[in-house]
Amino acid sequence: MRTMKLGNSTLEVPVVAVGCMRIDSLNKTEAENFVQTALEEGANFFDHADIYGGGKCEEIFSDAIHMSDDIREKIILQSKCGIRKGTFDFSKEHILDSVDNILKRLKTDYLDILLLHRPDALVEPEEVAEAFDILENSGKVRHFGVSNQNPMQIQLLKKSVKQPLVANQLQLSITNANMISNGINVNMEKDSSINRDGSILDYCRLNDITIQPWSPFQYGFFEGVFLGNDKFPELNQKIDEVAKKYEVSNTTIAIAWLLRHPAQMQPVIGTMNIDRLKDCIKASDVRLTREEWYSIYRAAGNVLP
């Protein structure tokens, strides 16, 4: 699979990340087959979070991949922390404790990337900075980032945090594309011109922060997938038309649409289906034309000014 640099780091990563939020839906044999297929296809970047399955997903993954020193050298592990039941917590104590538990479940000595999961309204950047310093100096975490944060929240962290923030995981799909639409419809009196995220797309590009789109096939907030959905007939017709041209599936085109954006995003795919996993990976080799990209964008109901 094609690779890219993650943010302004020297870490070379696949352009598609494998999300492990649903790996607890697989039995032992299925989980082993899934992670092995991912490795064979060059998809060696695995995204986790301590809340996925209450930590169970990380345990299932480490067992499925048969974690060892040899295996660890061949994969890139990212996990997230900061969400607790009924609260968000970016305190120093919670971050450090979370990472220790993540490492234990993943059966590894270090994470390649740690992301702060969802903004904590009570964040104290100085505490985050202390936690990051301890994690970096101990070798437990090599790179850091955030998830679902806007530019000012990142700037607030950077006031104290000295480590580069290399990634920002954000919801983005063809049907959930406001971060793109508000930049197209600047100064227009329409809903799509409303800037809901502080121009996070441009901010990340300006600051070499890799955007990792999550739920790349979802519409709304986990309301369902748009592919093959009767609610989006025009969009599916257009995607199928483009897929036929490239002799790939509609799944491939949906990911290729994100990869075509010059921000050099790294979509996080959540499928546990091996065939769909392979289809997502094929998007690495498909480069849509400008006309195809915009035709898909318009078919989703987006109107150009």
Q: How far apart are the first and last CA of the chain?
A: 36
The pair of three-digit structure tokens given for residue 241, joined into one six-digit string: 């038309």
Annotated active-site residue in 52, 203, 219, 297:
52
Is residue 48 within 8 A of residue 57, CB to CB? The reply is yes
The pair of three-digit structure tokens given for residue 245, joined into one six-digit string: 């041209």
Burial class (CB in 10 A: 0-12, 13-18, 19+), 85: exposed
Tell me the β-bridge partners of 3: 14
Nearest to 112 by CA among 32, 259, 18, 12: 12
Q: How far apart are CA 254 and CA 279, in angstroms?
A: 10
Handedness of CA 13, 75, 256, 185 (dihedral sign): negative
- Mark whether 52 is an active-site residue: yes
Could you list the active site residues?
Answer: 52
